[in-house]
Each structure stands twice: as C-alpha cells, then as structure tokens.
C-alpha cells in the first residue's frame, strides 16, 4: 500500500499541523505503510490539488490523503480513515468564524435532505459513527486513487452555478463523485482542530 500525503499552502504551514503530521508519519511507519509527503505551494488551491493527484497517479499510489495547512489531527487519524475502507472518507471539523463573522459550530459536512436540497449539518446533529454524506471539507480526507479514473479532469475546480451559488473545489469534486455513484463518507469520531485567528481588541 502506498499513500501520497498532499498539503496545499499559500506559503505557510502551521506549527501545530507540522506536529500533527510528524505524529501521523510515525504511526504509519509503525504499521509499515509506504508513504510520500508532497507540499504544493501556490495561490490557486484547486491547481495545487490537481497537481498532487497527477503526482499520485504517475507514482502508482493507492491513496491520496489530503491535509490542509491549518489542521490539528490525531496521530492515528490516517490509519483510522484507511480502516474505513471507503472510496472517499474524511473527518469533520468546524468552520472558522466568530459569533459576528460566522457560525463556528457549523460542520463542513453537507447532506441531501428529502427534497434534494444540500444542507450543512450543525455539529450538534452529526451522527456518532461513520455515515454517508453528500460532501465534506478537504482538510483531512482520504481518496482511493481509483476514484480519479471515474471522474474526468480537471478533478478539482471551484464553480459558480447558474443560480450564482458558489462551490469550493472540494464540494464540487464530491458533487461529481455523487453523480457517478461514488460514496462520500464522514468519520465523526476523529477529532480535528481547525486553526484560526482572532483579533482581541481593547
């Protein structure tokens, strides 16, 4: 088994993310899992992600593990995603924001309701065990490489639909996966931190 661990950044990776990554790599070594870490630096995240997938395909990797540059995660997090044996599976984390600028208790997971509408789940209503969803954030997500053979390039692209609704590159990719019958799963038992900033004014 070979895993490409890809991190996209505009130039900075948080120290806490690096500490988390070191712990996860040690855990992979203990399990004798072959891995490569690749960091893409650039201003266009979707382009960086597509380059990482191309690298994984050319290198004959079995999995692509996407980690954002502002995530805190447990050392066994990648192992636990592998143990789920899903085409696409990731962990949930809170969106960033304050009570003024956003709702920090909203999950990055979207589900489809009975009317076909895509909804973000509040953290309080998340299932307690592995569940199927429409999409989730790409901050800590594992992809089987076979997924990228079923979806045409460009895999990751941010889009605005005819109604003016904007989809980030991760949500748009998972919408394409949904259309071709590829399941997207969330493991809510893996606790993830999403690093942010706050201005403490006097």
Distance in angstroms (rounded) separating the CA atoms of residues 118 and 111: 6
199 inside domain: no
pLDDT tens string, the chain, 202 residues long: the values are 999 999 999 999 999 999 999 999 999 999 999 999 999 999 889 999 999 999 999 999 999 999 999 999 999 999 999 999 999 999 998 877 655 555 556 678 888 888 888 888 777 788 999 999 999 989 999 999 999 999 999 999 877 655 656 567 888 899 899 999 999 999 999 999 999 877 767 7
CA atoms within 13 A on the CB side of 169: 16
How many domains does the chain divide into?
1
| Residue 149 structural domain | 2-194
Q: Where does 11-110 have alpha helices with state H?
A: 15-30, 45-58, 77-84
pTM: 0.91
201 inside domain: no
200 inside domain: no
Tell me the CATH number at 122: 3.90.550.40
202 inside domain: no
């Amino acid at each position: 088994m070979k895993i490409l661990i890809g991190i996209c950044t505009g130039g900075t990776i948080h120290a806490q993310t690096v500490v988390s990554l070191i712990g996860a790599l040690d855990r992979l070594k203990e399990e004798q899992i072959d891995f490569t870490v690749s960091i893409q630096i650039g201003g266009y995240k979707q382009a960086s992600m597509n380059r990482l997938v191309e690298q994984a395909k050319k290198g004959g990797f079995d999995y692509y593990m996407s980690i954002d540059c502002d995530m805190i995660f447990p050392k066994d997090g990648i192992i636990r995603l592998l143990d789920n044996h899903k085409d696409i599976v990731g962990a949930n984390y809170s969106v960033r924001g304050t009570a003024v600028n956003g709702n920090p208790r909203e999950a990055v997971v979207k589900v489809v309701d009975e009317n076909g509408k895509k909804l973000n789940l509040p953290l309080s209503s998340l299932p307690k065990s592995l569940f199927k969803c429409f999409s989730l954030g790409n901050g800590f997500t594992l992809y089987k490489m076979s997924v990228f053979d079923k979806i045409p390039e460009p895999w990751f692209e941010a889009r605005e639909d005819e109604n003016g609704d904007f989809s980030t590159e991760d949500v748009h990719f998972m919408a394409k996966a949904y259309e071709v019958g590829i399941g997207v799963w969330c493991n809510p038992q893996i606790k993830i931190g999403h690093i942010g900033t706050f201005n403490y004014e006097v």
